[in-house]
Structure 1
Amino acid sequence: MLIKAPLDSTHIDYLKNIGILSSNEEVTDSFKAGEGNMNVTLTIKTNKRTIVLKQSRPFVAKYPQVPAPLSRIEIEYKYYNIISPDNFLSCFSPKVLAFDKKSWLLVLEHLNNGGDYLSMYQSKSILGENVLDLLLSYLKKLHQLPVYEFPDNMEMRKLNHQHIFVLPFQSDNGFNLDDVQDGLQTLSERVKNHTPLKAKIKGIGDKYLGRGKSLIHGDFYPGSWFETDNGLKIIDTEFSFLGDPEFDLGVMLAHLKMARIPNESIQRVIQTYPLENGLISSYMGVEILRRLFGLAQLPLNLSIVEKEELTNDAINLIMNEEI
């Protein structure tokens, strides 16, 4: 059954029949929980508690024209389960209350007074050094977790691969970037016509599709960092798989750079978590370019001149592999 707000009697009966709601639980309110990209996410208030329902569709919720695997919600469920024995990592996750595979429905605790960090692109001061240290500590602990078996999540990785490593660099990708900002389409030609750069990006993308040794979050950017009354939470783990820890770190650093976090802070992160610098640099550069020229746009408060500078920096990161 497809869940939508407001819940009607059919939805409520279904949730009671599968044990998500108890027989004496009355729904008092239900509404969309934020602007999720991948899944339908609802907040449900009852006479006893508040919970969150996440349900996958055979397409991306924000972009219905983009097909996506239903099984992604099970990946998120398995991620939370596999890190739950670790006391440090589990305190960053919302509690899993139930999972119904038949309807691809995940039930999570409601995070009180929560909000993501997407506003950091407008105000870099939102991301304090203490939060940055927590994010880095989380990644270190996650990547060191002894995980030997986890779904390869290949359907989601292929979807991500297309939107990170392929489509933003195709001249005929159907994205009219001038609808985002005047001059952005012309700026994108700098990378679309850069043959050595595209060859390098293809190689990095091939590596992304390979199997690594570390459990990674797979989408470690400000939209997945959630501040609540109970501290920082890390959410939206449907892109997770066994891969390169450099991917998570490179994505994180790319967003710090796009938010104009001081370079001193970026260098401190790199020095505090030494990995393969060339690979971090490559993933970082690609993430910047795909966010500038791909479908998944960010609320960047940047002029076209500033985006040109970012483009040049990203090209150098990829071609020279130096951070």
Structure 2
Amino acid sequence: MITKQTAYEPFTTDSVVDYLKQRELINPESPVVCEEIGDGNLNYVFRVTATDSNRSLIVKQALPYAKVVGESWPLTLDRARIESESLLQAAKVVPELVPAVYENNPVLASTVMEDLSSHTVLRKGLIEGKRYPELAKHIGTYLAYTLFYSSDFGLEPAAKKELATRFVNPDLCNITEDLVFTDPFFDHETNDFPEALRPDVEEIWADDNLKLEAAKLKQLFLTKGEALIHGDLHTGSVFVTEGSTKVIDPEFAFLGPIGFDVGAFIANLILNYLSQEARLTDTSERNEFQDYLLAVIKETWEVFTETFSGLWKQDGKGAFITVPGYLDYVLSQILQETVGFAGCKIIRRTIGLSHVEDIDGIENSEARINVQRAALQVGRKLILKRESQEKIEDVIALVRGAGNE
């Protein structure tokens, strides 16, 4: 039996089966079916199923480069360890909201985890106009627990500093720093948009006020090590059923600003909201589904803040926790930063290197351009007006208004 690997080597559909059998994660005598199912930019993902028992596992393996670009963009393999440890960290407080991790192999940069085939990728479900009644409650709870208990509000200072040393993630942070906060605001070669959108894009590049605010948000991302954040919490990183929600893929995890995770999730709901202008042709049906998406944003924020506040009062650390007004100040800062980060994410996903299927999948090119134009308007307003947003209803009104301009 092989129990230790001595060198990294990318898996194939054959070698990953051999590995699982050697590790007895699947019965060595079982017939199996293996398929590569990954469609992401950075990793291999395999599903391996023992056909005699229907035991099914997911094996995710990091590549030493970005798949979306190739070997000219090298990346550290340590991100696989970071992803695995982040899932395990989340499982300490919300085990029902993340997939179970069965093994992490730092040499092979691989993680063996629960198969979520019974679930749907949230992005796909929302594109199809499906509703998930527990989604907002689950994501709000996930955000509150994972962020509070990895922050100075919920950890002793020494424990927080130890956590920070385990989640140093420069390669993937650099991706975010460039692709979210820098490149879309300048005429950079990584940007990707149709020529018909160029006048709108050039307005962004020429807007020094917008770029100043983006620079401030980037500085927050670079310097505000507030909590262990997921770092890439979009609707493609959430698997759902009507009653279950699982957050996956935290390979971008590091100690960053709380509002970045909240903003990333909200941004993706806004992008889907805007895409429905071209996807749902029946006006009544479209309005109802868009209202649902805005309600999810509102409820997610309310569950997050109510749960975070409860944890603060129950388990808060430090002498200032009981000072009147401190919690309100923290939540106000998180909301404003959430709004700004959401705006950066929306602009990035519209004209940056990596887009979203919600919009790119719109077949009519004119309708797609109109949605992209609306997305740039919304993203811009979220960034510029973030400091005036006092409650989540203000954000929803801004999105609804900007999207109708």
Tell me which interval the TM-score lies in, with the shorter structure as reference length: 0.7 to 0.9
Deviates more, 1:125-134 or 1:289-298: 125-134
Shift of 1:272: 4.7
Q: TM-score when scaled to structure 1?
A: 0.87
**How far apart, CA to CA, are the structure 2 residues paired with 1:224 and 1:174?**
23
Shift of 1:139: 0.9
Q: Which amino acid aligns with 1:37?
A: N
Alignment equivalent of 1:317, drawn from 369, 382, 386:
382
Partner of 2:197: 184
**How far apart, CA to CA, are the structure 2 residues paired with 1:23 and 1:264?**
46
**How far apart, CA to CA, are the structure 1 residues paired with 2:10 and 2:25?**
14
Residues 150-188 of structure 1, C-alpha deviations (whole Å, 9 max, x = no match)? 41322211122111111222213243422xxx5133432
Residues 267-297 of structure 1, C-alpha deviations (whole Å, 9 max, x = no match)? 4444554532321221111111000011111
Deviates more, 1:89-98 or 1:27-36: 27-36
Instruction: List alignment gaps of at least 5 residues for structure 2.
Output: 1-7, 274-289, 306-330, 390-394, 396-405
Higher helix share: 2
**How far apart, CA to CA, are the structure 2 residues paired with 1:131 and 1:144?**
20
Higher Cα Rg: structure 1 or 2? 2
Shift of 1:191: 1.2
Q: Is the 8 A contact 2:80 2:109 kept in 1?
A: yes
Partner of 1:241: 254
Alignment equivalent of 2:122, drawn from 108, 117, 139:
117
Q: Aligned residues: percent identity?
A: 22
Q: Which amino acid aligns with 2:218?
A: G
Q: Is the 8 A contact 2:120 2:241 kept in 1?
A: yes
CA shift in 2, pair 1:197/1:27, >3 Å: farther
**How far apart, CA to CA, are the structure 2 residues paired with 1:117 and 1:13?**
32
Partner of 1:208: 221
Matched, 1:132 2:145: no
**How far apart, CA to CA, are the structure 2 residues paired with 1:235 and 1:154?**
20
Matched, 1:75 2:91: no
Deviates more, 1:33-42 or 1:234-243: 33-42
Q: Which amino acid aligns with 2:368?
A: S
Partner of 1:165: 181
Matched, 1:58 2:50: no
Partner of 1:225: 238
Partner of 1:101: 106
CA shift in 2, pair 1:132/1:278, >3 Å: same
**How far apart, CA to CA, are the structure 2 residues paired with 1:133 and 1:253?**
14
Q: Is the 8 A contact 1:289 1:311 kept in 2?
A: yes
Q: Is the 8 A contact 2:132 2:241 kept in 1?
A: no
**How far apart, CA to CA, are the structure 2 residues paired with 1:121 and 1:229?**
12
Alignment equivalent of 1:253, drawn from 251, 266, 271:
266
CA shift in 2, pair 1:284/1:30, >3 Å: same
Over the aligned positions, Cα root-mean-square deviation in angstroms equals 2.5
Instruction: List alignment gaps of at least 5 residues for structure 1.
Output: none
Q: Is the 8 A contact 1:112 1:229 kept in 2?
A: no
CA shift in 2, pair 1:309/1:126, >3 Å: same
Residues 183-222 of structure 1, C-alpha deviations (whole Å, 9 max, x = no match)? 1334322212212211221221121122423222111111
Alignment equivalent of 2:170, drawn from 154, 172, 176:
154
Partner of 1:195: 208
CA shift in 2, pair 1:313/1:23, >3 Å: closer
Shift of 1:56: 0.4
Residues 38-66 of structure 1, C-alpha deviations (whole Å, 9 max, x = no match)? 21100112355221111101112344254
Q: Is the 8 A contact 1:282 1:318 kept in 2?
A: yes
Alignment equivalent of 1:84, drawn from 91, 95, 100:
91
Q: Is the 8 A contact 1:114 1:229 kept in 2?
A: no
Q: Is the 8 A contact 2:183 2:191 kept in 1?
A: no
| 3-state SS of 1:102 partner | coil
Q: Is the 8 A contact 1:5 1:31 kept in 2?
A: no
| 3-state SS of 2:47 partner | strand
Deviates more, 1:35-44 or 1:210-219: 210-219
CA shift in 2, pair 1:4/1:90, >3 Å: same
Q: Is the 8 A contact 2:136 2:303 kept in 1?
A: no
Partner of 2:399: none
**How far apart, CA to CA, are the structure 1 residues paired with 2:18 and 2:243?**
32
Deviates more, 1:45-54 or 1:282-291: 45-54
CA shift in 2, pair 1:281/1:25, >3 Å: same
Shift of 1:7: 1.0
CA shift in 2, pair 1:69/1:320, >3 Å: same
Matched, 1:29 2:33: yes
Alignment equivalent of 1:296, drawn from 354, 360, 364:
354
Q: TM-score when scaled to structure 2?
A: 0.71
Partner of 2:340: 282
CA shift in 2, pair 1:271/1:92, >3 Å: closer
Q: Which amino acid aligns with 2:184?
A: P
